[in-house]
Amino acid sequence: SPKKRVTVMLNTVHTQCCLSSLLHQPEQYCYPSIFIYGHRATGKSHVILTLLKELELPHAAVSCVECVSAGLLFEQTLLALFGADSAALLPRLPSLSDFVRVYRQVCAQQPAKQTRYIVLERAELLRDMEANLLPGLLRLQELVDDNVAVILLSEIVWDKFRPNTGCFEPLLLHFPDYTKGKILSLDSNPSYTPELYSSYINILLGVFYSVCRDLRELRHLAALNFSKFCEPLEKGEAKEGNTHKLWRNIEPHLKRAMQTVYLREVSSVQWGQQQMDEKEATALRGLSALAHVELPYYSKFLLIAAYLASYNPARTDRRFFVKHHGKMKKTSFLKKHEKTSNHLLGPKPFPLDRLLAIFYSVVDSRVAPTASVFSQISSLVTLQLLTQVGHDDQLDTPKYKCAVSLDFILAISRCVCVCETKYLFLTFGLWLLT
Amino acid sequence: LSSSKWKRDTIVQRILRERFCHQRLPDRPVGLESQYKHLLELLRRTAVHGESNSVLIVGPRGAGKTMLLRCALRELLELQEVKQNVLQVHLSGLLQTDDRIALKEITRQLHLENVVGDKVFGSFAENLVFLLEALKRGDKSSSRPVFFILEEFDLFAHHKNQTLLYNLLDVSQSAQAPVAVVGLTCRLDVLELLEKRVKSRFSHRQIHLLSCMSFCQYLDAFRSELALPDDFPDSKFSQEWNLNVSELCEEKSVQEILQKHFNSCKDFRSLHLLLLLALTRVSVSNPTLRAVDILEASRMSSADSKANILHGLSVLELCLIIAMKHLNDIYEGEPFNFQMVHNEFKKFIQRKSHSIHNFEKPVVIKAFEHLLQLELIRPVDGGVCKVQREYQLMRLMLDHTQVMEALQRYPQCPTDVKQWAISAFG
C-alpha cells in the first residue's frame, strides 16, 4: 500500500506519526500551517510530495525560488488547486488581498471535500518578500475560511522566520539527517555485487564524510568516481575481494577529487575526461588557477606593492624600502598586537602616494611616473584585485586596499625577477613566525 | 465491528480536530467573563440603540481576541432585529495593506459596488460618507448599524496619514450613522502608534485580555478541551474517554508536563498544539489517550531546533563551531572573521588532533560557507561586498550551552574534538 511504502522512506517514528496524521483523514481539518525543517537532501520535498501524490490529495507544490514576486506564487497555487480559470481571475500584480478574495470566490463554487495542501519549498525566501505574506500564509485557513493547510519546507530553523510582532505559530516538524549506516544502504549498482558497492561507498565516506554530509554531493561524487574504482576489476588486476588493492587505487584519486571536483574548481566533465587519459598525471588546472590572469609587468609590481602596503604598518616602510635606513630599534619595530592582527583582521587601507613610494622602491628598473602607471592602478581596481576605499569625490587622496591573498602574491612574484621575492620573505619571515 | 470502530475514531478525530485545528468557538469564552460582558454590551448598544462606539481589544497572540469577538457576535445575531439590520465589515491589516484597497473591500462587503459604479470621489471621507448614506433605510430616517472589525489594527496605523482610521473613528464620533469600530491587536502600545487627531477621536475604551489563569484552571481547560460532548453517538465510549482524560489529569507525570507548558506559555493556542500532537498518536489500534502520548507530544513541541540542525553537521563544520565558541570565550563575544576561525582550527590540528585531517583552506571555506547558509553565523553588517570573504566579520548565532549540548548528542564525535571543546583555553 502507498502508506507502507512511504513509512519505509521516513526516518524516525516521530516524523512518521505526525505525517501519518496528515493522511489519516483528509476530510477533516488539518493544522493551518506546518513548518518542516532539516538539512538539505534529507528528503523533505520528496517525502511530502510523494505522500500527497500517492494518496491523491489536492495540493499545490510551489518553489519560492521560482517566485520572484508574490503574484507568481498566487498564480501557481490557484492553478494547481482550482485550474486555469481561477488563476485568470487574479488581477495584474495581485496582492495577498486579491488572492484571498479570488480564493474565497472560487472555493464557494468548489467547496473542499478534502484538505487542500499548499507546499512551499525554500520557504526562507518568503521572508524577503512583502512583510504581510508570511504571516498571511500562516493563517490562510482562517482568512479564506476553507479547509486548507500550508506546509513550509526549509533548511533554516523557525526562530529566524518569526516576524517582530509575532504570528500564528505553525506546527514544527524536524526531518532528521541520514546516519552513516543508512547512507551505506541506500544505493546499489546493477553491474556489481552490493558488497562491492558498499565497500566502495565505505571508502568514499571515509574520505568525505567528515567534511560533507549532504547526500546529493556524496551521491554525485560516488557516481563520478565509480568507474575509476572498478578499473582494476575491469583490467583484471584485482579481484572483488581484494579490497586493499582497490582502496590503494582509489584513495589518492578521491583525495584529488576533494581538491577539485568537490570545490567545483573543475567541472564533472573535465574530471571524467582526466580519468580517461590516465597516462598524463598532470595536475588539473582549477578555476582558481585561471584567476592568475596574465597581468602586465608593472601591474604585478603594483599589486605586490599594494599587498606590502596593506599588511605592513607604515612605520616599518623606512626599514624595508629605504636603501640606507640606518638602524631601527628592535623593540619599537613590532608592536605585539600587530603581529597577530595584520593577517587576521585583513588588509588596511593605504593612500596612493604610499603605494607609489613602495612601488618605486620595489621595481628594479627606472620607471617614469607616466599616466600608464596610474591607469594600471585603475585597471587593478576594475579587476577587483584592489578595492577603492572611501568616497568617490576624494579625487586628490584616493585610498586603496589589497584584495588578494598571499598565495596569489607568491604566485605572481614567482613570475617576476627572483630577487624581488627576497623583499617578501624579508617582510613575512617575521610575521609568519608567530 | 471494526468498521464501527473506524467510524467512532473518525468522529472523535473530527470533533477534536475542529477544536484544535480550526479554532472552533467554545460555547462560552472561558476565564474572560467580564471582558465578554463589556464587549457584548457595547455591540448591543450600537446594534439595538443606534449608539456609535469604538473599542480596542488588546491581548498577546493566542489570548482569544478573535474568539471573544466571534462569540459576542454569535450571541448578538441570535436577536432577530440585529440579524436583519446590522451589517458587518471585516478588514485585516494583513490583507488590506493600503487605504485604497481597504475602501474597495468595504464597498464590496457592504454590497455597494453597483451603487458606487464608476463614481470618482474627491477624498476618502467623501467616499465613506457616500457609502454610509447609501445604507440609509427607505424612509431616510436612520442608517443601518455597521460593525467595522479591524484585525491586526496596529498595521492600519502604518498606512499613509492613517486615513482609514481617522475617517472611521470620525464617523464613530459624529452622529452620522450608528457605527461600531472594533480593533483587535497584539500590541499593548497601540495608542502610541496613533496620530494625535486619530487618538482624540478614539473613545479610549480598551478591553485587555491578559490571562490570569491559575494552574488549576489550566488543568480544567486541558480536561474540557479533550472532553467529548454529550451528544456523541456512542455514549458508553464517550464516558470512558472522559473518565480516562480525568484520570490523566490526576497522573503526576502529566501534571509535570502541563506545569512546564503552563510556565512557558498559558494561552489556549499552545495548549491546542500540544493536544493535537498527542491526538496524532490516537488511532483505531490505540483508541485512548495515554500519558506517554502527552509526554511524546511535549517532547516534540519543545525540541530545540538549532540542536537538531547541529546534529546533522559534518565533523569539520562542528570543529569550526567549536573554534568560534573558543573565540567568543576569549574575546567575549567580539565578532570574528574566517581567518581567525581558521587560525584557531589550525592550532587545534597541530597540537591536539589525531583524528581530524589537515584540510586545505578552500575545503574549510566551503564548510564555513555552509554554516553561513544555515544562518548559524551571520555577518555583522548585513554582508557588505567590499570586504574579502575571508575577512568579513561574523557573529555566531549559538550560545555556549547550545554548542556543548549539541556536542553531547553528536553521533560518533571524536574524543579529541570533545576534549578540545571542553578545555578552557582552546
pLDDT in tens, A309-333: 888 877 777 766 666 556 655 544 4
pLDDT at residue A274 greater than cutoff 80: no
Q: Please answer yes or no on whether B13 and A28 come within 8 Å at the CB atom.
A: yes
* CA B164 remoteness from chain centre: 26
Q: Are strands A33-37 and B206-208 parallel, antiparallel or unpaired?
A: unpaired
Averaged pLDDT for residues A355-373 = 79
pLDDT at residue A62 greater than cutoff 70: yes
Which of B11, B14, B21 to probe the A interface (max A CBs under 10 A)?
Answer: B21
pLDDT of residue A298: 85
Q: With contacts defined as CB-CB under 8 Å, which chain B residues touch A96?
A: 94-95, 97
Averaged pLDDT for residues A44-57 = 87
Q: How far is B388 from chain A (nearest CA, A)?
A: 6
pLDDT of residue A429: 42
Q: Out of B17, B92, B273, whose CB is closest to A171?
A: B273
pLDDT at residue A430 greater than cutoff 50: no
Q: How far is A154 from chain B (nearest CA, A)?
A: 10
Q: Out of A132, A141, A263, whose CB is closest to B363?
A: A263
Averaged pLDDT for residues A353-372 = 79
Cβ atoms within 10 Å, residue A15 = 20
Which of A101, A129, A210 to probe the B interface (max B CBs under 10 A)?
Answer: A210
Among residues B57, B62, B70, B63, which one has the least CA distance to residue B24? Answer: B70
Q: C-alpha grid cell for residue B23?
A: 479554532
Among residues B155, B167, B172, which one has the least CA distance to residue B54? Answer: B172
Q: Please answer yes or no on whether A25 and B13 come within 8 Å at the CB atom.
A: yes
Q: Please answer yes or no on whether A159 and B305 come within 8 Å at the CB atom.
A: yes
pLDDT at residue A11 greater than cutoff 70: no
pLDDT band (50, 70, 90) for residue A278: low
Which of B5, B8, B308 to probe the A interface (max A CBs under 10 A)?
Answer: B308
pLDDT of residue A328: 54
Q: Please answer yes or no on whether A24 and B13 come within 8 Å at the CB atom.
A: yes
The residue in chain B having the minimum alpha-carbon distance to the alpha carbon of residue A180 is B411
Averaged pLDDT for residues A380-397 = 80
Which H helix or E strand runs over A373? helix A371-382
- List residues bridging with A115 in a β-sheet: none
Q: Out of B21, B105, B359, whose CB is closest to A97?
A: B105
pLDDT of residue A433: 31
pLDDT in tens, A95-141: 999 999 999 999 999 888 888 999 999 999 999 999 999 999 999 99
pLDDT of residue B317: 95
pLDDT of residue A196: 86
Q: Out of A158, A180, A258, whose CB is closest to B305?
A: A158
Q: Please answer yes or no on whether A210 and B316 come within 8 Å at the CB atom.
A: yes
CA distance B299 to A174: 12
pLDDT band (50, 70, 90) for residue A243: confident
Q: Please answer yes or no on whether A136 and B94 come within 8 Å at the CB atom.
A: yes
Q: With contacts defined as CB-CB under 8 Å, which chain A residues touch B21?
A: 28-32, 141
Q: Whole-prediction pTM value?
A: 0.90
Q: With contacts defined as CB-CB under 8 Å, which chain B residues touch A387?
A: 386
DSSP, collapsed to helix, strand or coil, labels residue A151 as strand
Q: With contacts defined as CB-CB under 8 Å, which chain B residues touch A147?
A: 22
Mean model confidence pLDDT for chain A: 81
Q: Are A78 and A70 in contact (CB under 8 A)?
A: no
Among residues B383, B385, B378, B389, which one has the least CA distance to residue A405? Answer: B389
Averaged pLDDT for residues A208-216 = 90
pLDDT of residue A434: 27
- List residues bridging with A63 in a β-sheet: A121
The residue in chain B having the minimum alpha-carbon distance to the alpha carbon of residue A178 is B312
pLDDT band (50, 70, 90) for residue A37: very high
Exposed, middle or buried, A350 (CB in 10 Å: 0-12/13-18/19+)? Answer: buried
pLDDT of residue A159: 93
pLDDT band (50, 70, 90) for residue A382: very high
> Which of A193-197, A377-381, B136-140 has the largest mean confidence?
A377-381
Which H helix or E strand runs over A301? helix A297-311
Q: With contacts defined as CB-CB under 8 Å, which chain B residues touch A95?
A: 95, 97, 101
Which of B16, B22, B283 to probe the A interface (max A CBs under 10 A)?
Answer: B22
CB-defined contacts A:B, below 8 A: 168
Q: Please answer yes or no on whether A262 and B363 come within 8 Å at the CB atom.
A: yes
Averaged pLDDT for residues A207-217 = 90
Give pLDDT < 70 ranges for chain B. Answer: 1, 137-142, 353, 383-385, 424-426
pLDDT of residue A394: 65
Q: Out of A25, A31, A177, whose CB is closest to B311?
A: A177
Q: Please answer yes or no on whether A31 and B13 come within 8 Å at the CB atom.
A: no
